[in-house]
Amino acid sequence: MSTVRVPPVLRAAVGGVRELSVPGSTVSEVLEALYSAHPEVRSQLVSDDGELHRFVNIYVNDEDVRLQEWLDTPVGESDTLLILPAMAGGASAAR
Amino acid sequence: MRLPPELADELISHAVADLPNECCGMIGGRHGVATSVHRATNTEASPFMYVMDPRQQMQLMDAIDDAGEDLLAIYHSHTRSAAYPSRTDVELAFFGQTLYLIVSLADRDAPEIRAFRLRRDQPAESAVTEEPVEILEP
């Protein structure tokens, strides 16, 4: 079981806890297990096309998985996975 | 939310300092009163878009948490348009429980500060709810 750190923005969707133990040997497997246990998380992180939203960052032991093997990045028993939706936006569409 | 005047000035100063690009950062506070403004880096360095540096985002969220404060608002600037959320702002508003504060420099002589609750999972007509920003007396 790896540890998933839950930022405040997602805590309501997982019953208010800061950390969860979640099975899975890759980022993808951990996320699927998390979605199964807490379906509301999926709606917050996954785009309409079924893919992880491109403005959601995932870190394994503080390393960005986009710089590793993305969703295939291995996750070990003692690893910590952090889900961090971006703070982003901008006036572009208003112009 | 309530905003001490020196923090309102800090938000405007940050928006001006980062021109021509949009700025971004976080506001910490307690019981709806802002107590700290944390500048962050806009990794897009763009007049039309902001993406907060994710490392800073983590550090600042932890710093606000460690200080016993709440994350009251995520702020950014609109350099040439009104202090009202764009479609992009709503689409990327993952933090539905946090206010999104916008500083507009469209009128450089009269900067505007407004705050909104944004719900990207709601239909357009109910996705944006304005929350009053009260600038406190000095």
- Rounded to whole angstroms, the Cα distance separating B28 from B36 reads 5
A29 Cβ partners below 8 Å, 6+ apart? Answer: A23, A75
Half-sphere exposure of B138 (CA within 13 A, CB side): 2
Q: Do B79 and A84 touch (CB under 8 A)?
A: no
ipTM exceeds 0.90: yes
CA distance B119 to chain A (A): 11
d(CA B84, CA A89): 12
A-B contacts (CB, under 8 Å): 97
* Per-residue pLDDT reduced to its tens digit, B21-57: 999 999 999 999 999 999 999 999 999 999 999 999 9
Q: What domain count does chain B have? A: 1
Mutate to test the interface with B, among A46, A87, A92, A95 (most CBs of B within 10 A): A87
pLDDT tens column, A31-85: 999 999 999 999 889 988 999 999 999 999 999 999 999 999 999 999 999 999 9
Q: Using alpha carbons, select from B35, B116, B110 the residue that is nearest to residue B74.
A: B116
Domain range holding B50? 2-135
Look-up of token digits 């689409």: B91
**Side-chain half-sphere of B117: how many Cα atoms within 13 Å?**
11
Backbone angles phi, psi at B9, to 5 degrees: -65, -40
* Domains of chain A, earliest start first: 2-85 (3.10.20.30)
Nearest CA in chain A to B106: A91
pTM of the model: 0.91
**Nearest CA-CA partner of A86 in A45, A48, A39, A25:** A45
What is the residue type of B46?
Answer: S
Give the phi and the psi of residue B107 in degrees, each rounded to 5: -110, 100
**Amino acid letter, B71:** L
Contact list, B98 vs chain A (CB under 8 Å)? 9
CA angle B76–B79–B84, rounded 5-degree value: 60
Amino acid A55: pLDDT: 95
What 3-state DSSP class applies to A47? Answer: coil
Among chain B residues, the shortest Cα distance to A10 is held by: B95
Strand order in the sheet with A56-60: A19-22, A2-5, A80-85, A56-60, A63-64
A86 touches chain B (CB under 8 A): yes
Q: Chain A residues with CB inside 8 Å of B90's CB?
A: 89
Q: What is the CATH number of the domain that holds B99?
A: 3.40.140.10
